[in-house]
Amino acid sequence: MTNFDYYSPTRFVFGKDTEAKTGELVKKAGARKTLIVFGSGSAEKSGLLQRMRTSLQDAGIRSIDFGGIRPNPKSGPVYKGIEICKKENIDFVLAVGGGSVIDSAKAIAMGAVDDGDFWDFHAHTRMPQKALPIGVVLTIPAAGSEGSGNSVITQDKTLLKRSATGECLRPRFSILNPELTYTLPNYQTACGIADMMSHIFERYFTNEPGVDLTDRMCEGVLKTIISAAPQAIAKPDNYEARATLMWAGTIAHINLLGLGRIEDWSSHAFEHELSALYDVTHGAGLAIVFPAWLRYQLHHHNPQKIAQFATRVFDIPTSGSAENIGEKGIAALSAFWTSLGLPFKLKQIKGFEEADIPLMTQKIKMTRPNELGNYNPLNYTDIETVYRSML
Ligand code: NZQ
Ligand code: ZN
């Protein structure tokens, strides 16, 4: 187990009707004027947004709406949000939505207290040191941004999708009411499930010895997600299934499961090129990438770890070679994701062109000039091979 220093200061307020506490929590953070960041319609339609405005008003906090954030959020709206914050003396940013809204809110919060270009933080030429305080009312369990110190944005002109990381990006509070997720289309629920499971996989596949505790924690959360997922899909207002998924999505990415481990994250790099280029939903992209990455690793590095995943998470019998058991586990994972309506081949992505594979490989290499990932680091040729295995 590696050394670690774990600090996760977000207050999580979980359960029915908890969004009613928003105004009170923003006030507690010392705010007077809030920018409410939201998406393209769902929060307005459900009435959540109006309840947020009222909650802030009741707490004596002024607010300005900033809506229209799209999935796979772009840099353009971030610049606009920063401008509004500076002009209006905003002192708190409230994100009402999912990962795209939260990540845009985080980028706006960083840019609002900075004189330079916020993109420097995503391009990793500067590290974020400060940001306006951020609060979250989560409406989709998926990205885990409600507890993470990350903001993932795509730069308009280059279509580079990159993550900025900093402690100042961790939300002061995140409100998690599972009832707010009842309106999610099944496809979005499924994409969220693939994303949260992938956040666990990125941590699970490590070479670090002595990580039995976190191995078992990862396996337990994965098994729980696999059991709750079909229940939420079959009955979108199943509170317990929605509650399980919502907390699992946070647990998956708050880094408890990665403590003491060297994490991989190459599958996310593969996926970010897909969602940057074709605007595919992040979780759907991961449903294509992860089985392909696992299969490549099965034949190149430590098949025993993949066999362990197969037996412990998908109850594959332990007879046969590690490769054979691992292969059955990967097939079970793909079958589970496709049963939720997720894709499994690149050709299922609208607009995908095989000719784009060298471009995506090149874009990965731009920010990772040496090797990709830590489990079994991949060079340029390996990356291209893994992409081609998704065809
Ligand atoms: O825009 P609206 O109308 O709100 O619709 C959204 C959007 O179309 C809809 N939605 C959300 N809550 C809903 C709802 N529809 C009905 N009822 C509700 N309750 O869902 C769609 C997807 O929303 P989005 O915010 O894009 O989803 P998600 O949470 O999956 O976020 C994905 C983004 O997060 C990034 C991804 O790359 C992607 O850009 N990630 C961020 C991470 C982080 N900050 O730590 C880590 C992740 O690995 C990931 O990369
Ligand atoms: Zn993800």
Interval 338-390: pLDDT, tens? 999 999 999 999 999 999 999 999 999 988 888 999 999 999 999 999 999 99
Token digits for 134? 């951020």
The answer to pTM > 0.95 is yes
- Give me ligand 2 centre to Cα 282, in Å: 7
- If asked whether residues 257 and 372 sit together in one domain, one would say yes
What CATH number does the domain containing 50 carry?
Answer: 3.40.50.1970
- If asked whether residues 168 and 206 sit together in one domain, one would say no
Q: What is the pLDDT of residue 368?
A: 86
Q: Which residues contact 336 (CB under 8 A, 6 or more apart)?
A: 226, 229, 314
The last residue of a domain, from among 126, 146, 180: 180
- If asked whether residues 81 and 104 sit together in one domain, one would say yes
> For residue 70, is it within any domain?
yes
DSSP state of 10: P
Q: What is the pLDDT of residue 369?
A: 85
Number of independent structural domains in the chain: 2
pLDDT digits (tens, 9 = 90+) for 102-114: 999 999 999 999 9
- If asked whether residues 385 and 251 sit together in one domain, one would say yes
pLDDT digits (tens, 9 = 90+) for 241-279: 999 999 999 999 999 999 999 999 999 999 999 999 999
Q: Which residues contact 212 (CB under 8 A, 6 or more apart)?
A: none
What CATH number does the domain containing 306 carry?
Answer: 1.20.1090.10
- If asked whether residues 155 and 35 sit together in one domain, one would say yes
Say which ligand is closest to the CA of 253.
1
Q: Whose CA is nearest to atom 49 of ligand 1?
A: 143
Closest atom of ligand 1 relative to the 180 alpha carbon: 19
The last residue of a domain, from among 165, 180, 195: 180
Q: What is the mean pLDDT of residues 313-327?
A: 97
> For residue 72, is it within any domain?
yes
- Give me ligand 1 centre to Cα 72, in Å: 8
Q: What is the mean pLDDT of residues 204-233?
A: 98
3-state secondary structure of 377: coil
pLDDT digits (tens, 9 = 90+) for 49-99: 999 999 999 999 999 999 999 999 999 999 999 999 999 999 999 999 999
Q: Which of 188, 202, 275, 279 to mutate to test the pocket of ligand 1 (most atoms within 8 A of CB)?
A: 188
Cβ contact 144:199 at 8 Å: yes
Q: What is the pLDDT of residue 195?
A: 98
Query: Does the C-beta of 302 come closer than 6 Å to ligand 1?
Result: no
Cβ contact 342:252 at 8 Å: no
Query: Does the C-beta of 68 come closer than 6 Å to ligand 1?
Result: no
Query: Does the C-beta of 97 come closer than 6 Å to ligand 1?
Result: yes
- If asked whether residues 50 and 91 sit together in one domain, one would say yes
pLDDT digits (tens, 9 = 90+) for 146-168: 999 999 999 999 999 999 999 99
- If asked whether residues 129 and 216 sit together in one domain, one would say no
Angle at 272 between CA 275 and CA 192, to 5 degrees: 75
Cβ contact 175:213 at 8 Å: no
- If asked whether residues 126 and 261 sit together in one domain, one would say no
Cβ contact 33:88 at 8 Å: yes
> For residue 4, is it within any domain?
no
Query: Does the C-beta of 198 come closer than 6 Å to ligand 1?
Result: no
- Give me ligand 2 centre to Cα 192, in Å: 9
Residue-number span of the structural domain to which 194 is assigned: 186-389
Residue 263 to residue 274: CA distance in whole angstroms: 21
Residue 31 scores a pLDDT above 90: yes
Q: Percentage of the chain surpassing pLDDT 70?
A: 100
